[in-house]
Amino acid sequence: MKKSIPLISLSIGEPLAQDIFDEQNRLLLRAGTHLSDQYIKSLQSKGIETVFIAITPQIENPSTDEEKPPEKKPPKKKLSSVDLRKPYYDLLYEQTRVKARGYYVKIIHQDFNLKAREFTDLLLNDPEASLNFYLQTKRSQTEYNYEEYHVNTGILAALISNWLNLNRHIIYEIVNVAMLHDIGETRISPDILQKPGRLDKNEMEIVRTHPNIGFEILSKTDWLSSRELLGVLTHHERLNGQGYPHKLLGSQIIIHSRVTAVASIYNTATTDRPYAKAKHPAKVLSELRDRSFGELDSKVTRVLYERISDLISPKN
């Protein structure tokens, strides 16, 4: 059964009984989605006042007047790799679509955003289990591919953002940036990206156009915020002004770019690529910490080091 309920009367966690569309008939939320505070605020901002909620009819038992003792709630189930595996593979599929749409300069479907948010909520319900899942997944993947790299960067960015105690809505944005940041590379020749050796000056200049290309591709997607677009554009900027494409300094670089930079460097350096072998995670972590003196955000690198250094030491 379903019932129309005003948004202002809803409780967090209520399940939707039917899909919600905006005035342009674009899907906003699917039936079955459990409403979070951010979802409710987002719907209100779009002028949606009521939604249909699934309800379970209550059967009265007039023959029993005795008050029943309160039922004990089962303990909160801890996440397992099984819980995360299916949504992870769903996002890998979404990344194949993103890669194709980037190449053809098409808009990114809203489904990607919804799946990324649902996956982020799942990750942050149990950050410890999510970190273990991430590390296990990384160990099983030896070579770079576009889809795994971007989803893995999104997972690490979500965990780092959570460890920094960032607002959940900002975390959603950072995850989108992390999962879309290299979409501009879909328009660059694989002969350059997969070259087994050092790039020459001209090839390096071409590679350094990918943040601008990514920004232009994603500007066609109306559900992305200006912060998310800026995050993609500036994920290679560095605090000391030595990044690209605009050589921004310090406070000019938003948190979306700072978190994505660290998450992407860690994921890239711990994966085999045509031009370099993977480094041991502990070595990469040490290098990130060294680069935090003027280049990367020290808070971001420090929280990553503190949370995973014991789990990736050579002894383990």
pLDDT band (50, 70, 90) for residue 63: very low
Domain boundaries, the chain: 2-54, 81-308
CB 175 within 8 A of CB 130: no
> 240 pLDDT band (50/70/90 cuts)?
very high
Burial of 214 (0-12, 13-18, 19+ CB in 10 A): buried
pLDDT averaged over every residue in the chain? 88
Q: What is the pLDDT of residues 67-105, one digit of tens each?
A: 555 555 555 566 666 689 999 999 999 999 999 999 999
Most confident of the following: 54-63, 70-79, 193-202, 227-236: 227-236
Please give the pLDDT value at position 50.
77
- According to CATH, the superfamily of the domain at 81-308 is Hypothetical protein af1432 (1.10.3210.10)
Per-residue confidence at 65, pLDDT binned at 50, 70, 90?
very low
| 230-255 average pLDDT score | 96
Q: Indicate if the pLDDT at residue 290 is higher than 70.
A: yes
Q: At what angle do helices 146-163 and 110-125 cross, to 10 degrees?
A: 50
Q: Domain 2-54: give its CATH architecture.
A: Alpha-Beta Complex (3.90)
